[in-house]
Amino acid sequence: MQDLSRHFAETLAASQPDSLDDATVTEAHRALVNFMGVALGGADHEAMDITLKALGQFTGPGTAAVLGRRETVDMSMAGLLNGISSHIHDFDDTTPSNYIHPTSPVASALFAWAAVHPISGRDFLHAFALGFDVVTRIGDATYPNHYQAGWHSTGSIGIFGAAVAIGRLLGLDAQQMLWAIGMAGTQASGLRDNFGSMAKGFHPGHAARCGIEAAFLAQAGFNTGNTPLEGPRGFAAVTAGGMLDVDNLMDRFGSHYRFEGITYKPYPCGIVIHPTIELCSSIHAEGTAPEQVEKVELQVAPIVRDLCDQRPTRGLQGKFSIYHAAAIGLVRAQGRLSEFTDEAIADPALAAMRDRVTPVAVDGQSADSVRAIVTLKDGTVIDRFLPESLGNVKRPLSNDQLNDKFLNQITALGGDQAQQVLDACWKLGEMENVGDLVRATVPR
Amino acid sequence: MQDLSRHFAETLAASQPDSLDDATVTEAHRALVNFMGVALGGADHEAMDITLKALGQFTGPGTAAVLGRRETVDMSMAGLLNGISSHIHDFDDTTPSNYIHPTSPVASALFAWAAVHPISGRDFLHAFALGFDVVTRIGDATYPNHYQAGWHSTGSIGIFGAAVAIGRLLGLDAQQMLWAIGMAGTQASGLRDNFGSMAKGFHPGHAARCGIEAAFLAQAGFNTGNTPLEGPRGFAAVTAGGMLDVDNLMDRFGSHYRFEGITYKPYPCGIVIHPTIELCSSIHAEGTAPEQVEKVELQVAPIVRDLCDQRPTRGLQGKFSIYHAAAIGLVRAQGRLSEFTDEAIADPALAAMRDRVTPVAVDGQSADSVRAIVTLKDGTVIDRFLPESLGNVKRPLSNDQLNDKFLNQITALGGDQAQQVLDACWKLGEMENVGDLVRATVPR
């Protein structure tokens, strides 16, 4: 498509809040409720303290509240911190069509904006939907090539959503929006080598921060190439082996916001090991004691081994370990934040169970499913199949389940305050100033 | 190599200033003289004003002077600005073995550091040599794959040098240095789609800024994966199709600093069109008037067409146009900053000459050479070959030529001040505090 990026930018610059349909507004609220929960749940993670310790010297005047923290920083740094807190537990939303966590980079930037600039809920939702949609479209149009090449696309594609969302709030014209996309593309980064470390959580924060700055640079006239997405040295060529499914990218662009594929996690870890946690938990619940288990074979989708075939030595690695997923199900019958701490990894009962697990990749098997063949010491074989795990697109979390998830993970705020923030999130679209919500998250 | 990144980091963390030999010290001074000239030459470029206008709100307390500017910003932002000024004219050094401009990202970070922290010339040179060497080694070990994939390696590899240089000054231990490399790799970015725009100049600045922050994050304990260079989802796998020439990377690492391939540009534009400017200027000097020229065939290395086969519409694009290179030689017999402005691109005489130029790629031809076949309107054919252009590794600029280059390009400072800065640069290694040099560049 001739001038693809330019056309893309023109559509974004012209978009108006009344383009959001009811289904988009409803799902955007669910996404933001889920986001706020994980951001507050991660706000007191040590990665946040470390970031503030290291980079606090590089923040401008503290005009922006950080979600769930008492410190104030500049808007760009707030975007970074919101992104880290909302992804550090790997508990944020996922779009299984491209394995991106789309809300974190976009909403992190937007709540940083709202901390500084008065903004109505209506405008906030519009900018959020626009950014979310852009992330999902670019993600879908370059999947699987971009992700399989080793990019953590939540960062490397998330940056486009942050830049576009902030760019729209700045009122960028089409040329400026094109430059904002150009500045986003040229800062796109994030390597999957970092899965299982704090750097993974850094990625959407860096995307939010760099996306914010991309939009401001574009507004001021910092120019870029004209073909950031489609050019022979542009984003798709350089990072996705040239894959850019233009029909997918542009299908109903500007009139339809692609929220239909979003999922919310019941467990704070890589989504492809959720079926294993759920199935192994149910085997435990049926009465199988951990000490009875001789060995466990897991038949899983190939991507499970691609992503999660690691023996963990720290909590963050446990989030990407199929061995650990089976162990916490069979030993503890649950997967909360406390199952992915350094202490949990060191738990001898979990370590012993991990050693009994063998994952087998089965071509064509859905990543939503798992088959577990558990052999007990007495020779009994338990053979179970889970076709669709909770939280995936066919078994979505209900609003009540989202509320429970929200309240159960927050340690930075008291229960009353958490409930108030939760109630406000469900009404975000009607707020006069979303900044009030940001400030309501600061621990009392 | 098992634990390659870890071994790499251990060597860097243990390096001491006395590992620098005389040849390294000499060439490092030449590199820094050339760097300071281009940084001051670019300090009043509009891209600098735009960046300050857009991002000034995001700088911490103004503890750091920016080279050639009156504004003060935080150290990280100073790294960004120094990087933009020193690369915006495409006049900085080049390592033709990998087409990286290695000094800009590293020295930009280091002068930002020196603006804030007292640092001796000896320690500065050591950190610079370390960062420069790392950039050159990673560049050589992943060339041509990384560059040909479309990465602007001055940014995407430069970031490692900035992180390592600042990391060494912070006294990082081996584990922290490994994390600094990890944080650098996961922020590595910069697309060649932006050649011919301000975003190209942004890349080494962004590398300097992100490299500085990578080192501080690592110091504070922000952890990453352990295989940032060699892992299956690490830098080489993701950005260079898996190419990582370990023998090249590690050859005499820790004892030899790889400065032998550095070149300094006589013209402020892409290095591969330098031969064309020089040869066409000499054809003009022989008495060929522009209006006599009917057509020009240029036989060039294939990379010339790969990089510079564009018809410019703005000054920065002229820096990557083989057509414009031939035109300024044949029409003006020179290539100064004034040949790469928007006004020069619009000059009718240059536009007319560009239209008469046909580049032809010749397999196996050196990028240091060019053959020009100029057909005049009276039928005369002038056929010239230039085997080695000025400024390449076999015809290096002398110290006197570096001095002339330095003084001729600086407009932000008066002549006396420029001369004083130049004199100080040649003695940088003996300075008690390099911060004095930084402050001496602030326009009086």
- Token pair for A340: 């992915």
Over the range B189-209, which residues count as b (16 or more CB within 10 Å of their CB) and which as e?
A: bbbbbbbbbbbbbbbbbbbbb
The angle, 0 to 180 degrees and rounded to 10, between the axes of the packed helices B174-185 and B4-14 is 120
Q: Which of A170, A193, A202 to mutate to test the interface with B (most CBs of B within 10 A)?
A: A193
The angle, 0 to 180 degrees and rounded to 10, between the axes of the packed helices A198-220 and A103-116 is 60
How far apart are alpha carbons B201 and B104 in whole angstroms?
A: 10
> Closest-CA residue in chain A for B53?
A220
**Residue that is last in its domain, among A365, A386, A407:** A386
User: Which residues does chain B have with pLDDT short of 70?
Assistant: none
B33, B35, B119, B432 from B22: Cα distances, Å: 17, 20, 20, 19
Among candidates A319, A410, A391, which has minimal Cα distance to A38?
A410
Task: State how far residue A242 is from chain B, nearest Cα, in angstroms.
Answer: 10
pLDDT value at residue A318 = 96
Query: Which position has the token pair 């007319």?
Result: B352
Q: Is B380 on the interface with A (CB under 8 A)?
A: no
Structural domain including A330 reads: 271-386
B392 part of a folded domain? no
A303 part of a folded domain? yes
pLDDT value at residue A337 = 93
With contacts defined as CB-CB under 8 Å, which chain B residues touch A228? 191, 193-194
Q: Identify the CATH number of the domain in which residue B22 sits.
A: 1.10.4100.10
Same domain for B61 and B174? yes
Contact A193 B76 (CB under 8 A): no
- Token pair for A188: 């796109």
Q: Residue A411: pLDDT above 90?
A: no
Contact B186 A182 (CB under 8 A): no
- Token pair for A283: 């085997």
pLDDT value at residue B42 = 97
- Token pair for B22: 């005389």
- For chains A and B, count residue pairs whose Cβ atoms are closer than 8 Å: 196
Same domain for A102 and A239? yes
- Contact between B255 and B158 (Cβ < 8 Å): no
Please compute the mean of the pLDDT values over residues A122-148 and round it to a whole number: 98
B164 part of a folded domain? yes
**Residue that is last in its domain, among B356, B386, B416:** B386
Average pLDDT for chain B:
97
Of A57, A149, A227, the CB nearest to B74: A57
B267-298 pLDDT per residue, tens:
999 999 999 999 999 999 999 999 999 999 99
Same domain for B164 and B225? yes
Q: Identify the CATH number of the domain in which residue A307 sits.
A: 3.30.1330.120
Same domain for A333 and A433? no
**Residue that is last in its domain, among B386, B405, B429:** B386
SS3 label, residue B33: helix
Same domain for B229 and B282? no
A327, B288, B292, B294, B331 from B378: Cα distances, Å: 87, 12, 8, 9, 18
With contacts defined as CB-CB under 8 Å, which chain A residues touch B152? 186
- Token pair for B177: 């240095």
Cα atoms in the Cβ-side hemisphere of radius 13 Å centred on A35: 29
Task: State how far residue B289 is from chain A, nearest Cα, in angstroms.
Answer: 35
A392 part of a folded domain? no
Task: State how far residue A284 is from chain B, nearest Cα, in angstroms.
Answer: 33
Task: State how far residue B206 is from chain A, nearest Cα, in angstroms.
Answer: 8
Same domain for A159 and A298? no
Same domain for B140 and B235? yes
Interface of B with A in 291-330 (CB under 8 A): none
How far apart are alpha carbons B374 and B383 in whole angstroms?
A: 6
Contact A223 B187 (CB under 8 A): no
Same domain for B279 and B406? no
Task: State how far residue B195 is from chain A, nearest Cα, in angstroms.
Answer: 7
Q: Is A227 on the interface with B (CB under 8 A)?
A: yes
B391 part of a folded domain? no
The angle, 0 to 180 degrees and rounded to 10, between the axes of the packed helices B75-87 and B198-220 is 150
Among candidates A220, A142, A221, which has minimal Cα distance to A185?
A142
B85 part of a folded domain? yes
A206 part of a folded domain? yes
pLDDT value at residue A273 = 97
B171 part of a folded domain? yes
Contact A235 B191 (CB under 8 A): yes
Same domain for A193 and A327? no
Same domain for A232 and A281? no
How far apart are alpha carbons B157 and B133 in whole angstroms?
A: 11
Contact B203 A217 (CB under 8 A): no
With contacts defined as CB-CB under 8 Å, which chain A residues touch B220? 50-51, 53-54
Confidence of residue A98 (pLDDT cuts 50, 70, 90): very high
Same domain for A427 and A363? no
Task: State how far residue B17 is from chain A, nearest Cα, in angstroms.
Answer: 26
- Contact between B34 and B403 (Cβ < 8 Å): no
Same domain for B183 and B275? no
Q: Is the ipTM of this complex over 0.90?
A: yes
Q: Which of A87, A157, A191, A303 to mutate to test the interface with B (most CBs of B within 10 A)?
A: A191
How far apart are alpha carbons B142 and B249 in whole angstroms?
A: 9
Interface of A with B in 181-220 (CB under 8 A): 182-183, 185-199, 202-203, 206, 213, 216-217, 219-220
With 0-12 CB in 10 A as exposed, 13-18 as middle and 19+ as buried, what is B363? exposed
Q: What is the domain count for chain A?
A: 2
pLDDT value at residue B270 = 92
> Is the entire prediction scored with pTM above 0.90?
yes
